[in-house]
């Protein structure tokens, strides 16, 4: 439901925090994919069921984490195993080799597939998918609004440089509005999420002496939310609707879509609508 002017005024009067800088995760938060087939057996071609702002049907939009899910399901099928979202939750936001070890261990593939072999198989399949990324609902509106109001923004993504280039090649205008981007293979990022390394590195690269309490992180992954909180920052979570609600804990706010975000709740300039 759209907010009224009174709602915005009340939120502005008592903001959750006084935010001056914003840091975005990328996969599942800024960028999504375009499905040409249902992402899971529980969702049919004709069902057209809306799940928050993401919908799954032939030609539906979903977050880029769906690329990884789709590919990992195919790899597991070779070993007659079924994908489990509780394992997915543990893998999200991690560096590639860390998530690969979790995948092999949790699905009992030791002796059948090494983490390195898993990454090699996954990589060849992902290369063909990444260029088809699309922006998720509400992303451009929020990014343009923050930029127009002089709010510095950064991206902190676990993707390494080659994947980042493939995913963003059709979205250069949006990423040009970011003050900077920190990637998973950056020298300052010693450990993947939930380590706070990537968010602290992103904060340090803003101009001036920025305090963690002034930074708002947007994330879709439980490990990313944990990383933001460990860094001393506020975290807004926009989770995949298939992720169990037990993984929402720790977030300062949980939204079904960036369309639901109200900047004034965080001391940021309100939308002019």
Determine the Cα–Cα distance for residues 221 and 48; give it in Å rounded to an integer: 25
Known active-site residue 63: no
DSSP string, 92-137: TTS-HHHHHHHHHHHTT-TTT--HHHHHHHHHHHHTTTGGG-EEPT
d(CA 201, CA 118): 29
At 63, give phi and psi (nearest 5°): -75, 160
Buried b (16+ CB within 10 A) or exposed e, 86-105: ebbbbbbbbbbebbbbbbbe
On whether the CB atoms of residues 167 and 31 are closer than 8 A, the answer is yes
Look up 27 and say whether it is catalytic. Answer: yes
In a 3-state reduction of DSSP, which class is residue 241? coil
- Selecting among 27, 63, 197, 240, the annotated active-site residue is 27
Choose, from 25, 186, 197, 220, the residue flagged as catalytic: 25
Active site members? 25, 27
């Amino acid at each position: 439901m759209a907010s009224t002017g009174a709602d915005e005024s009340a939120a502005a009067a008592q903001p959750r925090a006084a935010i001056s800088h914003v840091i975005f995760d990328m996969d599942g938060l800024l960028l999504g994919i375009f499905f040409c087939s249902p992402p899971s057996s529980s969702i049919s071609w004709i069902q057209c069921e809306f799940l928050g702002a993401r919908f799954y049907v032939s030609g539906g939009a979903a977050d880029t984490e769906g690329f990884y899910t789709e590919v990992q399901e195919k790899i597991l099928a070779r070993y007659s195993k079924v994908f489990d979202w509780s394992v997915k939750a543990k893998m999200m936001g991690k560096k590639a080799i860390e998530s690969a070890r979790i995948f092999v261990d949790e699905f009992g593939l030791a002796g059948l597939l090494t983490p390195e072999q898993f990454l090699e198989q996954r990589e060849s399949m992902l290369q063909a998918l990444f260029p088809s990324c699309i922006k998720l609902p509400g992303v451009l509106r929020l990014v343009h609004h923050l930029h127009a109001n002089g709010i510095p923004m950064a991206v902190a993504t676990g993707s390494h440089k080659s994947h980042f280039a493939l995913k963003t090649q059709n979205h250069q205008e949006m990423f040009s509005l970011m003050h900077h981007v920190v990637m998973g293979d950056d020298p300052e990022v010693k450990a993947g999420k939930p380590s706070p390394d990537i968010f602290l590195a992103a904060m340090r690269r803003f101009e001036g002496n920025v305090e963690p309490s002034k930074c708002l992180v947007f994330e879709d992954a439980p490990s990313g939310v944990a990383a933001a909180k460990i860094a001393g920052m506020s975290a807004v979570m926009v989770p995949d609707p298939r992720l169990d609600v037990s993984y929402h804990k720790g977030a300062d706010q949980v939204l079904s879509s960036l369309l639901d975000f109200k900047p004034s709740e965080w001391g940021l300039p309100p939308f002019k609508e």
